Amino acid sequence: MAFVDEAKFFVKAGDGGNGCVSFRREKYVPKGGPSGGDGGKGGSVIIEASNRLQSLIDFRYRSHFKAERGGNGQSKDMHGRNGNDCHMMVPVGSVIKDSETREVLAELLTDGETFLGAKGGSGGLGNAHFSSGSNRAPRFATKGKEGEELWLRIELKLIADVGLVGLPNAGKSTLLSRLSAANPKVASYPFTTLEPQLGVLQFKYEEPCIIADIPGLIEGAHDGAGLGHTFLRHIERTRILLHVIDVSSDDVQTDFQVIENELRSYREDLLDRTQILVLNKIDIADPENVTAAVASFTDLGFQTVLISGLTGEGIQQVKDLIEEKLEDLRKLDRQKQENDDQEDAAPEVDGE
């Protein structure tokens, strides 16, 4: 199944039902009286995030979403029924934008989180509302208001614990297949993955983590070169960056610097995240070059791991390091949550 992470769609909320003009015909009631009911409210378009969806593939087959119109008011003060809402399901991590201005309207980051895409129109008032001492038999009612309608854009940013970054053919797909049960395309010739791949890394004692293989970046990606921004945004929500480097390359330092510059140019704070340098293809690299690369990156303050995606050497060390770093981050999360809970529970002290 194709991975779709951007789409444009149209939402139309239901119009409100019209109010009714009606009069009672009751025995012993002088002159009867107005009895027109109100129109029902139009349904709204509600966008809800769900963990069950992984891409926006459904938007290839449907781009218009419309809620039900409210029913018209009826005689005997009977109100029209409210229109049914239109519930749209989107993946967790979806960003909803105005299609014209590109303004971010909502980010749906948790399962079940909702956003009101278009509000239904209110129902019109029946003539019973307009009776007065000077006008006991009003012969008019109001129409229902139109529901909102607009074009929206949805973008999906993957929510993953670990993001694999690196130049094309650095071995990210092979590493993903070693760390998880994912089965990305792997070949002995140079190629670039054209869509993000997700895998789940299982630990013995800790909660599993999600790994995202971000398609190969190239120099100038932050300006739109190559795959450009199409997949750079998926790095934004990863907590750990696994920078995969082909240590058999002729210029390892330049390869590393290309990716660092692209990340910095796209969003400088990405470089503040936990980074692990994975030096791949040690089975075919010159040992002297490997030793020099490790020394150079260590001097820069990076933690490095030597692996061979082909033979599996060093893969367990990568898993252990990811587990260790994630546990540290999760401890900080729990501590922050505890501090926030204590602040919320603390009684307020009135000033003198």
**Read out DSSP for 27-88?**
TTSTT-EE-PPPPPPPP-EEEEEETT--S-GGGGT--EEEPPPPPPPBTTTBPPPPPPPEEE
For the chain, which residues make up each domain, given as ranges? 6-156, 162-338
The CATH architecture that domain 6-156 belongs to is Distorted Sandwich (2.70)
Report d(CA 78, CA 60) in Å as an integer. Answer: 42
Q: Kind of pairing, strands 149-156 and 94-98?
A: antiparallel
Sign of CA dihedral 181, 184, 185, 190: negative
Q: CA 219 to CA 262: how far, in whole Å?
A: 7
| pTM score above 0.75 | no
pLDDT attached to residue 221: 39
Q: What is the CATH number of domain 162-338?
A: 3.40.50.300
Tokens of 344: 């919320």
Residue 47 backbone phi and psi in degrees, to 5: -100, 125
Amino acid identity for residue 125 in this structure: L
Separation between Cα atoms, residue 310 and residue 247, nearest integer Å = 14
Write down the mean pLDDT value for the chain: 83
Structure confidence at residue 4 (pLDDT) = 61
Low-confidence ranges of the chain (pLDDT < 50): 1-2, 184, 186-193, 218, 220-229, 352
> Token pair for residue 199?
């895998």
Cβ atoms of 247 and 282 within 8 Å: the answer is yes
Q: How many CB atoms lie within 10 A of CB 284?
A: 11
Please give the pLDDT value at position 198.
76
For residue 38, the model assigns a pLDDT of: 94
CA distance 307 to 314: 4
